[in-house]
Amino acid sequence: MIRVEVCNQQAELEVSRRRLAAAVRRVLVEAAVGAARISLAVVDDPTIHELNREFLGHDYATDVLSFLLERQPETLEGEIVVSAETAAAAAPRFGWSAPEELLLYVIHGALHLVGYDDHSAAERAEMRARERAHLEHWGIQVRRGKKVGNR
């Protein structure tokens, strides 16, 4: 059983908890995760800035943080934190809505939890391909040649 708890702790953007939870579940199912407990927090920039500083030593706001708490062959426990404020600011640069940008952050965080990374060019390309596939599932088309997200 995959459980995704969504906590909206910001007032910048109206969010669909159901859609965000379903996006996380879809990434986990595709990665053959049979059981999971995921906490997803939608926050503002000051909150994600503090978390980024506290846990990663980076003194700036960011779009998404993911924390893998436990991983066994078919089970996973983790946390994803996304900034609605960053999504609202970044979305116009990429030609889509803030909820679409936020959905990208959620997908990106979930992909990190299941083992995708974006440190090398090859890893980044693979992750971007998975992001595009998941966005397309939600009817969001990424224009060819357009960078996905703000990373």
- pLDDT at residue 74, rounded to an integer: 77
What is the rounded distance in angstroms from the CA atom of residue 82 to the CA atom of residue 84?
6
Helix (H, G, I), strand (E, B) or coil at 49: helix
Candidate CATH numbers 3.40.390.30, 3.10.620.30, 3.40.1110.10, 3.40.50.920; the one for domain 2-137: 3.40.390.30
Q: Give whole-number Cα distances, 125 to 18, 129, 131, 132, in Å.
A: 28, 6, 10, 11
pTM score of the predicted model: 0.93
149: pLDDT strictly greater than 50: no
Supply the mean pLDDT for the chain.
92
- pLDDT at residue 70, rounded to an integer: 95
Query: Average pLDDT in the 132-139 region?
Result: 94
- Where do the structural domains in the chain lie, given as residue ranges? 2-137
Task: Determine the residue type at 133.
Answer: A
At 89-105, the pLDDT tens digits run 999 998 899 999 999 99
Q: Sort residue 144 into left (φ over 0), alpha (ψ -120 to 50) or beta.
A: beta
**143: pLDDT confidence band, cut at 50, 70 and 90?**
low
